[in-house]
Protein backbone atom coordinates (compact mmCIF):
# COMPACT_ATOMS: atom_id res chain seq x y z
CA UNK A 1 0.00 0.00 0.00
CA UNK A 2 1.26 3.49 -0.95
CA UNK A 3 2.26 5.96 1.75
CA UNK A 4 2.71 9.73 1.85
CA UNK A 5 5.87 11.13 3.35
CA UNK A 6 5.86 14.74 4.55
CA UNK A 7 8.64 16.90 5.96
CA UNK A 8 6.62 19.58 7.71
CA UNK A 9 7.34 23.23 8.25
CA UNK A 10 7.12 24.74 4.76
CA UNK A 11 4.78 27.70 4.33
CA UNK A 12 2.44 27.01 1.40
CA UNK A 13 2.33 29.75 -1.21
CA UNK A 14 0.90 30.14 -4.71
CA UNK A 15 -2.14 29.11 -6.72
CA UNK A 16 -4.11 25.89 -6.72
CA UNK A 17 -6.86 24.88 -9.15
CA UNK A 18 -9.73 23.20 -7.36
CA UNK A 19 -11.14 20.12 -9.11
CA UNK A 20 -14.77 19.26 -9.79
CA UNK A 21 -16.84 18.11 -6.84
CA UNK A 22 -16.68 14.41 -5.99
CA UNK A 23 -20.06 14.54 -4.30
CA UNK A 24 -21.65 16.15 -7.37
CA UNK A 25 -19.92 13.95 -9.92
CA UNK A 26 -21.15 10.66 -8.43
CA UNK A 27 -24.93 11.34 -8.57
CA UNK A 28 -24.52 12.99 -11.99
CA UNK A 29 -22.78 9.85 -13.29
CA UNK A 30 -25.72 7.80 -11.96
CA UNK A 31 -28.15 10.20 -13.71
CA UNK A 32 -26.77 8.91 -17.04
CA UNK A 33 -28.73 5.69 -16.38
CA UNK A 34 -31.96 7.65 -16.82
CA UNK A 35 -31.40 8.07 -20.57
CA UNK A 36 -30.31 5.99 -23.56
CA UNK A 37 -28.87 9.09 -25.21
CA UNK A 38 -25.25 10.28 -25.11
CA UNK A 39 -23.95 12.06 -22.00
CA UNK A 40 -20.88 14.27 -21.54
CA UNK A 41 -19.71 15.29 -18.07
CA UNK A 42 -16.88 17.84 -17.71
CA UNK A 43 -14.73 19.02 -14.80
CA UNK A 44 -14.72 15.46 -13.42
CA UNK A 45 -12.02 14.84 -10.78
CA UNK A 46 -9.64 11.87 -11.07
CA UNK A 47 -10.58 9.84 -8.02
CA UNK A 48 -11.00 6.21 -7.03
CA UNK A 49 -14.71 6.82 -6.28
CA UNK A 50 -15.24 8.14 -9.83
CA UNK A 51 -13.51 5.04 -11.27
CA UNK A 52 -15.65 2.82 -9.03
CA UNK A 53 -18.82 4.51 -10.31
CA UNK A 54 -17.72 4.25 -13.94
CA UNK A 55 -16.99 0.54 -13.36
CA UNK A 56 -20.47 0.10 -11.91
CA UNK A 57 -22.14 1.92 -14.83
CA UNK A 58 -20.22 -0.22 -17.32
CA UNK A 59 -21.26 -3.38 -15.48
CA UNK A 60 -24.92 -2.32 -15.53
CA UNK A 61 -24.89 -1.72 -19.30
CA UNK A 62 -23.32 1.64 -20.16
CA UNK A 63 -20.17 2.43 -22.08
CA UNK A 64 -18.54 5.10 -19.92
CA UNK A 65 -15.02 6.33 -20.64
CA UNK A 66 -13.01 8.98 -18.77
CA UNK A 67 -10.34 10.97 -20.61
CA UNK A 68 -8.70 13.67 -18.49
CA UNK A 69 -11.53 15.51 -16.76
CA UNK A 70 -14.23 14.51 -19.27
CA UNK A 71 -16.46 11.45 -19.03
CA UNK A 72 -18.44 10.36 -22.10
CA UNK A 73 -21.20 7.83 -21.67
CA UNK A 74 -23.12 5.86 -24.30
CA UNK A 75 -25.64 3.06 -23.97
CA UNK A 76 -24.22 -0.39 -24.66
CA UNK A 77 -26.79 -3.03 -23.75
CA UNK A 78 -29.95 -3.76 -21.78
CA UNK A 79 -29.37 -2.84 -18.12
CA UNK A 80 -28.73 -5.57 -15.54
CA UNK A 81 -30.86 -5.20 -12.43
CA UNK A 82 -28.32 -6.58 -9.95
CA UNK A 83 -25.53 -4.46 -8.45
CA UNK A 84 -23.19 -6.99 -6.85
CA UNK A 85 -21.20 -6.82 -3.61
CA UNK A 86 -17.78 -6.49 -5.28
CA UNK A 87 -18.80 -3.26 -7.03
CA UNK A 88 -20.92 -1.75 -4.26
CA UNK A 89 -18.84 -2.47 -1.16
CA UNK A 90 -16.15 0.13 -1.91
CA UNK A 91 -18.37 3.17 -1.78
CA UNK A 92 -21.52 4.18 0.08
CA UNK A 93 -22.66 6.42 -2.80
CA UNK A 94 -23.25 3.23 -4.85
CA UNK A 95 -26.66 3.19 -3.21
CA UNK A 96 -27.56 5.91 -5.75
CA UNK A 97 -27.83 3.18 -8.38
CA UNK A 98 -31.21 2.31 -6.84
CA UNK A 99 -33.12 5.41 -7.90
CA UNK A 100 -32.37 5.37 -11.63
CA UNK A 101 -32.64 1.58 -11.98
CA UNK A 102 -36.00 1.52 -10.19
CA UNK A 103 -37.16 4.27 -12.53
CA UNK A 104 -35.98 2.44 -15.66
CA UNK A 105 -36.38 -1.28 -14.79
CA UNK A 106 -38.95 -1.16 -11.95
CA UNK A 107 -36.69 -3.48 -9.98
CA UNK A 108 -33.16 -3.59 -8.63
CA UNK A 109 -31.20 -5.77 -6.22
CA UNK A 110 -28.33 -3.91 -4.58
CA UNK A 111 -25.75 -5.23 -2.16
CA UNK A 112 -25.72 -3.23 1.07
CA UNK A 113 -23.11 -0.47 0.58
CA UNK A 114 -19.71 0.13 2.20
CA UNK A 115 -17.64 3.34 2.15
CA UNK A 116 -16.02 5.31 4.95
CA UNK A 117 -16.36 3.73 8.37
CA UNK A 118 -17.84 6.80 10.03
CA UNK A 119 -20.69 5.49 12.12
CA UNK A 120 -23.36 3.00 11.17
CA UNK A 121 -24.67 5.04 8.18
CA UNK A 122 -27.96 3.23 7.62
CA UNK A 123 -30.08 3.59 4.46
CA UNK A 124 -33.50 3.61 6.12
CA UNK A 125 -34.38 7.11 4.81
CA UNK A 126 -33.70 5.97 1.22
CA UNK A 127 -35.76 2.81 1.63
CA UNK A 128 -38.66 4.56 3.33
CA UNK A 129 -38.75 7.12 0.49
CA UNK A 130 -38.86 4.35 -2.11
CA UNK A 131 -41.72 2.68 -0.23
CA UNK A 132 -43.64 5.96 -0.55
CA UNK A 133 -43.06 5.81 -4.31
CA UNK A 134 -44.70 2.36 -4.44
CA UNK A 135 -41.61 0.13 -4.14
CA UNK A 136 -41.73 -3.20 -2.32
CA UNK A 137 -38.54 -3.91 -0.39
CA UNK A 138 -36.99 -6.95 1.24
CA UNK A 139 -33.50 -7.59 2.59
CA UNK A 140 -32.03 -10.97 1.77
CA UNK A 141 -28.49 -12.34 1.81
CA UNK A 142 -26.87 -8.89 2.21
CA UNK A 143 -28.92 -7.50 -0.69
CA UNK A 144 -31.71 -4.95 -0.72
CA UNK A 145 -34.25 -6.42 -3.16
CA UNK A 146 -36.75 -3.96 -4.56
CA UNK A 147 -39.53 -3.97 -7.10
CA UNK A 148 -42.26 -1.59 -8.22
CA UNK A 149 -44.45 -3.89 -10.34
CA UNK A 150 -46.86 -1.10 -11.28
CA UNK A 151 -44.14 1.49 -11.77
CA UNK A 152 -43.14 4.38 -9.51
CA UNK A 153 -46.00 6.59 -8.30
CA UNK A 154 -45.38 10.16 -7.13
CA UNK A 155 -46.09 10.90 -3.47
CA UNK A 156 -45.27 13.27 -0.62
CA UNK A 157 -42.15 12.17 1.24
CA UNK A 158 -41.28 13.69 4.60
CA UNK A 159 -37.66 13.11 5.64
CA UNK A 160 -37.02 12.93 9.39
CA UNK A 161 -33.45 14.07 8.56
CA UNK A 162 -32.37 15.92 5.38
CA UNK A 163 -30.19 13.13 4.03
CA UNK A 164 -28.10 14.19 1.03
CA UNK A 165 -28.04 10.72 -0.54
CA UNK A 166 -31.74 10.05 0.04
CA UNK A 167 -32.67 13.42 -1.53
CA UNK A 168 -30.55 12.48 -4.55
CA UNK A 169 -32.06 9.00 -4.77
CA UNK A 170 -35.58 10.42 -4.78
CA UNK A 171 -34.63 12.96 -7.45
CA UNK A 172 -33.04 10.18 -9.52
CA UNK A 173 -36.23 8.11 -9.41
CA UNK A 174 -39.19 10.51 -9.10
CA UNK A 175 -38.21 12.32 -12.32
CA UNK A 176 -39.60 9.30 -14.21
CA UNK A 177 -42.42 8.45 -11.75
CA UNK A 178 -46.08 8.90 -12.56
CA UNK A 179 -47.37 12.18 -11.12
CA UNK A 180 -46.08 14.62 -8.54
CA UNK A 181 -43.52 13.94 -5.80
CA UNK A 182 -42.83 16.41 -3.00
CA UNK A 183 -39.81 16.04 -0.72
CA UNK A 184 -40.32 17.81 2.57
CA UNK A 185 -37.18 18.49 4.67
CA UNK A 186 -34.95 17.82 1.65
CA UNK A 187 -31.17 18.33 1.82
CA UNK A 188 -30.12 21.76 0.52
CA UNK A 189 -26.45 21.08 -0.27
CA UNK A 190 -25.06 22.67 -3.49
CA UNK A 191 -24.56 19.17 -4.91
CA UNK A 192 -28.35 18.67 -4.84
CA UNK A 193 -28.81 21.78 -6.97
CA UNK A 194 -26.13 20.60 -9.38
CA UNK A 195 -27.90 17.27 -9.82
CA UNK A 196 -31.28 19.01 -10.26
CA UNK A 197 -29.73 21.26 -12.92
CA UNK A 198 -28.56 18.17 -14.80
CA UNK A 199 -31.95 16.46 -14.53
CA UNK A 200 -33.64 19.65 -15.75
CA UNK A 201 -31.30 19.70 -18.77
CA UNK A 202 -32.46 16.13 -19.40
CA UNK A 203 -36.09 17.30 -19.54
CA UNK A 204 -37.17 16.71 -15.92
CA UNK A 205 -39.58 19.05 -14.15
CA UNK A 206 -38.12 20.06 -10.77
CA UNK A 207 -38.69 23.12 -8.60
CA UNK A 208 -37.21 24.05 -5.24
CA UNK A 209 -33.86 22.23 -5.46
CA UNK A 210 -31.54 23.91 -2.93
CA UNK A 211 -34.48 24.58 -0.61
CA UNK A 212 -36.10 22.31 2.00
CA UNK A 213 -39.06 21.50 -0.26
CA UNK A 214 -38.52 20.03 -3.70
CA UNK A 215 -41.37 19.31 -6.12
CA UNK A 216 -40.88 16.91 -9.01
CA UNK A 217 -43.42 16.27 -11.76
CA UNK A 218 -42.59 12.95 -13.41
CA UNK A 219 -42.04 12.84 -17.18
CA UNK A 220 -42.14 9.86 -19.57
CA UNK A 221 -38.62 10.05 -20.98
CA UNK A 222 -35.34 11.89 -20.41
CA UNK A 223 -32.69 12.93 -22.93
CA UNK A 224 -28.89 13.12 -22.98
CA UNK A 225 -26.96 16.07 -21.52
CA UNK A 226 -23.65 17.87 -21.35
CA UNK A 227 -22.68 19.39 -18.01
CA UNK A 228 -19.70 20.80 -16.15
CA UNK A 229 -19.57 19.72 -12.49
CA UNK A 230 -19.43 22.42 -9.77
CA UNK A 231 -16.13 22.94 -7.90
CA UNK A 232 -15.36 20.73 -4.92
CA UNK A 233 -16.08 22.85 -1.83
CA UNK A 234 -14.55 20.28 0.51
CA UNK A 235 -11.29 20.11 -1.44
CA UNK A 236 -11.29 23.94 -1.47
CA UNK A 237 -11.83 24.11 2.30
CA UNK A 238 -8.95 21.68 2.80
CA UNK A 239 -6.56 23.96 0.85
CA UNK A 240 -7.81 27.01 2.76
CA UNK A 241 -6.94 25.23 5.99
CA UNK A 242 -3.59 24.20 4.46
CA UNK A 243 -2.82 27.92 4.06
CA UNK A 244 -3.86 28.59 7.65
CA UNK A 245 -1.98 25.71 9.25
CA UNK A 246 1.28 26.41 7.37
CA UNK A 247 1.12 30.21 7.90
CA UNK A 248 0.94 30.55 4.14
CA UNK A 249 -0.82 32.43 1.39
CA UNK A 250 -2.82 30.59 -1.27
CA UNK A 251 -5.13 31.62 -4.11
CA UNK A 252 -7.73 29.00 -4.95
CA UNK A 253 -8.98 29.06 -8.53
CA UNK A 254 -12.17 27.48 -9.93
CA UNK A 255 -14.14 27.78 -6.69
CA UNK A 256 -17.62 29.02 -5.78
CA UNK A 257 -16.97 31.21 -2.70
CA UNK A 258 -20.60 31.24 -1.55
CA UNK A 259 -20.48 27.44 -1.12
CA UNK A 260 -17.67 28.00 1.40
CA UNK A 261 -19.37 30.67 3.53
CA UNK A 262 -19.27 28.78 6.85
CA UNK A 263 -15.62 27.78 6.47
CA UNK A 264 -14.51 31.26 5.33
CA UNK A 265 -16.39 32.96 8.17
CA UNK A 266 -14.71 30.78 10.78
CA UNK A 267 -11.27 31.17 9.24
CA UNK A 268 -11.72 34.97 9.29
CA UNK A 269 -12.76 34.78 12.94
CA UNK A 270 -9.53 32.93 13.68
CA UNK A 271 -7.56 35.76 12.11
CA UNK A 272 -7.03 34.71 8.49
CA UNK A 273 -7.36 37.35 5.75
CA UNK A 274 -9.66 36.28 2.92
CA UNK A 275 -10.50 38.02 -0.35
CA UNK A 276 -12.96 36.63 -2.87
CA UNK A 277 -13.90 37.17 -6.51
CA UNK A 278 -16.65 35.33 -8.41
CA UNK A 279 -14.52 32.19 -8.75
CA UNK A 280 -11.37 32.66 -6.67
CA UNK A 281 -10.51 32.84 -2.98
CA UNK A 282 -7.23 34.32 -1.73
CA UNK A 283 -6.36 33.42 1.83
CA UNK A 284 -3.43 34.74 3.83
CA UNK A 285 -2.00 34.07 7.30
CA UNK A 286 -0.90 37.19 9.14
CA UNK A 287 -1.00 36.29 12.84
CA UNK A 288 -1.06 33.43 15.35
CA UNK A 289 -4.61 32.02 15.00
CA UNK A 290 -7.32 32.40 17.63
CA UNK A 291 -9.22 29.25 18.59
CA UNK A 292 -12.78 28.98 17.27
CA UNK A 293 -15.48 26.51 18.32
CA UNK A 294 -17.44 24.87 15.53
CA UNK A 295 -20.50 22.66 15.37
CA UNK A 296 -21.11 20.68 12.19
CA UNK A 297 -24.49 21.07 10.54
CA UNK A 298 -26.28 20.52 7.26
CA UNK A 299 -25.64 23.13 4.54
CA UNK A 300 -25.18 26.09 4.88
CA UNK A 301 -23.76 25.15 8.30
CA UNK A 302 -20.19 24.03 8.90
CA UNK A 303 -19.65 20.86 6.81
CA UNK A 304 -19.01 17.60 8.62
CA UNK A 305 -16.57 16.82 5.79
CA UNK A 306 -14.32 19.65 7.05
CA UNK A 307 -14.56 18.79 10.75
CA UNK A 308 -11.39 16.68 10.85
CA UNK A 309 -9.34 19.28 8.96
CA UNK A 310 -10.63 22.00 11.31
CA UNK A 311 -9.52 19.91 14.27
CA UNK A 312 -5.98 19.69 12.86
CA UNK A 313 -5.95 23.50 12.62
CA UNK A 314 -7.29 24.01 16.15
CA UNK A 315 -4.50 21.78 17.53
CA UNK A 316 -2.14 24.68 16.79
CA UNK A 317 -4.43 27.61 17.71
CA UNK A 318 -3.74 30.10 20.51
CA UNK A 319 -5.94 28.50 23.21
CA UNK A 320 -8.75 26.02 23.70
CA UNK A 321 -11.59 25.14 21.37
CA UNK A 322 -14.52 22.75 21.09
CA UNK A 323 -15.79 20.82 18.08
CA UNK A 324 -19.28 19.31 18.10
CA UNK A 325 -20.16 16.69 15.48
CA UNK A 326 -23.91 16.54 14.87
CA UNK A 327 -24.15 14.72 11.52
CA UNK A 328 -22.23 11.47 12.02
CA UNK A 329 -21.60 9.35 15.07
CA UNK A 330 -18.06 7.99 15.37
CA UNK A 331 -16.41 10.64 13.21
CA UNK A 332 -13.45 11.27 15.51
CA UNK A 333 -11.14 8.50 14.35
CA UNK A 334 -8.48 11.06 13.49
CA UNK A 335 -8.17 11.99 17.18
CA UNK A 336 -5.78 9.21 18.31
CA UNK A 337 -3.64 9.83 15.22
CA UNK A 338 -3.48 13.61 15.80
CA UNK A 339 -2.45 12.84 19.38
CA UNK A 340 0.46 10.80 18.01
CA UNK A 341 1.68 14.08 16.47
CA UNK A 342 1.51 15.78 19.87
CA UNK A 343 -2.03 17.20 19.86
CA UNK A 344 -3.90 17.67 23.15
CA UNK A 345 -7.45 16.45 22.48
CA UNK A 346 -10.18 14.93 24.67
CA UNK A 347 -13.28 13.23 23.28
CA UNK A 348 -16.50 13.66 25.19
CA UNK A 349 -19.21 11.80 23.22
CA UNK A 350 -20.22 14.16 20.37
CA UNK A 351 -17.80 16.85 21.51
CA UNK A 352 -14.07 17.18 21.32
CA UNK A 353 -12.04 19.57 23.45
CA UNK A 354 -8.78 20.77 21.97
CA UNK A 355 -6.02 22.56 23.85
CA UNK A 356 -3.87 24.42 21.35
CA UNK A 357 -0.20 23.41 21.51
CA UNK A 358 2.85 25.38 20.33
CA UNK A 359 4.01 22.67 17.92
CA UNK A 360 3.25 19.24 16.49
CA UNK A 361 6.02 16.71 15.86
CA UNK A 362 6.11 14.32 12.90
CA UNK A 363 5.28 10.64 13.46
CA UNK A 364 3.89 7.63 11.56
CA UNK A 365 0.08 7.89 11.35
CA UNK A 366 -2.68 5.81 9.80
CA UNK A 367 -5.72 7.03 7.85
CA UNK A 368 -9.13 5.67 8.89
CA UNK A 369 -11.39 7.53 6.45
CA UNK A 370 -11.18 10.11 3.70
CA UNK A 371 -11.42 13.39 5.66
CA UNK A 372 -9.48 12.01 8.63
CA UNK A 373 -6.70 11.45 6.07
CA UNK A 374 -6.88 15.08 4.97
CA UNK A 375 -6.56 16.18 8.60
CA UNK A 376 -3.45 14.06 9.09
CA UNK A 377 -1.81 15.43 5.94
CA UNK A 378 -2.57 18.99 7.10
CA UNK A 379 -1.14 18.28 10.55
CA UNK A 380 1.92 16.68 8.92
CA UNK A 381 2.47 19.82 6.80
CA UNK A 382 2.69 21.88 9.99
CA UNK A 383 4.53 19.37 12.19
CA UNK A 384 8.26 19.51 12.81
CA UNK A 385 10.11 16.63 11.19
CA UNK A 386 8.81 13.69 9.18
CA UNK A 387 5.26 12.35 9.11
CA UNK A 388 4.53 9.11 7.29
CA UNK A 389 0.86 8.73 6.41
CA UNK A 390 -0.24 5.17 5.64
CA UNK A 391 -3.52 3.72 4.25
CA UNK A 392 -3.74 6.63 1.84
CA UNK A 393 -6.12 4.73 -0.44
CA UNK A 394 -8.81 6.57 1.55
CA UNK A 395 -7.34 9.89 0.34
CA UNK A 396 -7.30 8.67 -3.26
CA UNK A 397 -11.07 8.25 -3.01
CA UNK A 398 -11.58 11.99 -2.64
CA UNK A 399 -8.53 14.19 -3.36
CA UNK A 400 -7.50 14.77 -6.97
CA UNK A 401 -3.67 14.94 -7.31
CA UNK A 402 -3.22 15.77 -3.63
CA UNK A 403 0.58 15.48 -3.40
CA UNK A 404 1.10 17.19 -6.78
CA UNK A 405 -1.04 20.16 -5.80
CA UNK A 406 0.58 20.47 -2.36
CA UNK A 407 4.06 20.12 -3.82
CA UNK A 408 3.35 22.90 -6.31
CA UNK A 409 2.40 25.08 -3.33
CA UNK A 410 5.79 24.39 -1.76
CA UNK A 411 5.14 21.40 0.50
CA UNK A 412 7.87 18.83 1.03
CA UNK A 413 5.68 15.83 0.27
CA UNK A 414 6.00 12.65 -1.76
CA UNK A 415 4.21 9.37 -2.34
CA UNK A 416 6.10 6.20 -1.72
CA UNK A 417 4.86 3.38 -3.91
CA UNK A 418 4.77 -0.03 -2.33
Any idea which residues carry the catalytic annotation?
Answer: 116
Q: Name residues whose C-beta falls within 8 Å of residue 146's C-beta, 6 or more positions apart in sequence.
A: 98, 102, 107, 108, 109, 110, 130, 135, 136, 137
Interface with ligand UD1 includes 400 (CB under 6 A)? no
- Nearest distance from C-beta of residue 303 to ligand UD1, angstroms: 6
Reduce the DSSP state of residue 293 to 3 states and report it.
coil
DSSP letter assigned to residue 318: S
21 is an interface residue for ligand UD1 by CB under 6 A: no
Beta pairing partners, 416:
3
Residues 186-225 binding ligand UD1 (CB under 6 A) are 191
Shortest Å distance, C-beta 12 to ligand UD1: 24
Our finding on whether 240 is near ligand UD1 (CB under 6 A) is no
User: Contact 98/125 with Cβ under 8 angstroms?
Assistant: no
- Please report how many Cα atoms fall inside a 13 Å half-sphere around the Cα of residue 416, on the Cβ side: 10
Check binding of 230 to ligand UD1 (CB under 6 A): no
Out of 174, 327, 341, 381, point to the residue binding ligand UD1 (CB under 6 A): 327
Among 164, 209, 245, 283, binds ligand UD1 (CB under 6 A): 164
Query: Cα torsion at 273, 277, 278, 281 (round to 10°)?
Result: -40
Name 280's bridge partners. 253
CB of 72 to ligand UD1, least distance (A): 22
Based on the shown chain and the rule CB under 6 A, indicate whether residue 394 belongs to the binding site for ligand UD1: no
Applying CB under 6 A, does 273 fall inside the site for ligand UD1? no
User: Contact between 93 and ligand UD1 (CB under 6 A)?
Assistant: yes
Spatial separation of the C-alpha atoms in residues 181 and 42, rounded to whole Å? 29
Size of the site for ligand UD1 (CB under 6 A): 21
Cβ closer to ligand UD1: 95 or 176? 95
Nearest distance from C-beta of residue 317 to ligand UD1, angstroms: 24
Residue (63 or 161) nearer to ligand UD1, CB: 161
Q: Which stretch binds ligand UD1 (CB under 6 A): 67-75, 78-86, 114-122, 267-275?
A: 114-122
Closest CA to 16 of 404, 375, 412: 404
Minimum distance from residue 195 beta carbon to ligand UD1 (Å):
10
Which residues are registered as beta bridge partners of 31?
none
CA distance 333 to 118: 8
Quick check: 23 binds ligand UD1 (CB under 6 A)? Answer: yes
Q: Does 262 bind ligand UD1 (CB under 6 A)?
A: no
Q: Shortest approach of ligand UD1 to residue 162 CB, angstroms?
A: 7
Stretch that binds ligand UD1, among 104-112, 117-125, 198-206, 236-244 (CB under 6 A): 117-125
DSSP state of 162: -
135 binds ligand UD1 (CB under 6 A): no
Q: Which of 160-168, 195-203, 256-264, 385-393 is the region at the interface with ligand UD1 (rule: CB under 6 A)? A: 160-168
Q: b/e per residue, 334-354, with b = 16+ CB within 10 A?
A: bbebbebbbbebeeeeeebeb
H/E element holding 78?
none
Q: Is the dihedral of CA 34, 38, 42, 48 positive or negative?
A: positive
Which backbone phi and psi does 382 adopt, to 5 degrees?
-95, -20
Contact between 370 and 397 (Cβ < 8 Å): yes
State the nearest-atom distance from the C-beta of 271 to ligand UD1, in Å.
27
**Cβ atoms 109, 144 nearer than 8 A:** yes
- What is the Cα–Cα distance from 312 to 356, expressed in whole angstroms? 10
Which residue in the shown chain puts its C-beta closest to ligand UD1? 165
Taking CB under 6 A as the binding criterion, the range among 39-47, 159-167, 175-183, 245-253 that sits at the site for ligand UD1 is: 159-167
The site for ligand UD1 (CB under 6 A) is made up of 23, 26, 92-93, 119, 121-126, 161, 163-166, 191, 304-305, 327-328
Amino acid sequence: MDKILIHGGNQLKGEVKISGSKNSTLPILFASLLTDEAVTIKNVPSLADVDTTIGLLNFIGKLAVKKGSVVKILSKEKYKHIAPYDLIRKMRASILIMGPLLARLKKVDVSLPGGCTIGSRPIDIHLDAFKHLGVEISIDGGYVKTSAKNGLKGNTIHFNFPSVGATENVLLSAVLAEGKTTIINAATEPEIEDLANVLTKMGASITGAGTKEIVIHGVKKLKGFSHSVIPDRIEAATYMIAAAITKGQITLKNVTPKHLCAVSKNLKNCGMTINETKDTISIKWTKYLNPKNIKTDVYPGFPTDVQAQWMALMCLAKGNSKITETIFENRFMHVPELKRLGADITINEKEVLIKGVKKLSGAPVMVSDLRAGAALVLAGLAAEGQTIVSRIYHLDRGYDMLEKKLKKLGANIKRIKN
